[in-house]
Amino acid sequence: MLDLEVVPERSLGNEQWEFTLGMPLAQAVAILQKHCRIIRNVQVLYSEQSPLSHDLILNLTQDGITLLFDAFNQRLKVIEVCELTKVKLKYCGVHFNSQAIAPTIEQIDQSFGATHPGGLL
């Protein structure tokens, strides 16, 4: 199970590697190749009929992470953590998601702070 640090609006990674928004597809592929013993089962998804009109996707199926790259400039534009049970996440060195810590609204609030004032929206 990967143990990763979240930097909001910037990156997801650890001491050895980091996926950063805006990074080129080739750099992400190089990270995956270098760490193939840790990061396994990577799917590459793209449109064969119209490759420049649909995002390129690296789906880290074992770790529940999806990386979406812009089809035209091939830069990372979205990092999605799709399956929280497959990865440990921390912010500022403190875990907010792991097998022992469920990512509840209260836990997220405690880790990141309130995203809006309390009460009704």
State the residue range of the domain holding 33.
3-112
Please check whether residue 117 lies inside any domain of the structure: no
Q: Give tens-digit pLDDT for 30-55.
A: 999 999 999 999 999 998 888 888 99
Residues of the chain scoring pLDDT < 70: 107, 114-121
Please check whether residue 23 lies inside any domain of the structure: yes
Q: Give tens-digit pLDDT for 17-26.
A: 999 999 999 9
Please check whether residue 58 lies inside any domain of the structure: yes
Please check whether residue 91 lies inside any domain of the structure: yes
Please check whether residue 121 lies inside any domain of the structure: no
Look at the chain and report how many structural domains it folds into. Answer: 1
pTM of the model: 0.85
Please check whether residue 120 lies inside any domain of the structure: no
Long-range contacts of 69-77, Cβ-Cβ distance < 8 Å, separation of 24 or more:
69/25, 69/28, 71/46, 71/47, 74/24, 74/25, 74/26, 75/22, 75/23, 75/24, 75/25, 76/19, 76/20, 76/21, 76/22, 76/23, 76/24, 76/25, 76/28, 77/21, 77/22
Please check whether residue 119 lies inside any domain of the structure: no
Please check whether residue 98 lies inside any domain of the structure: yes
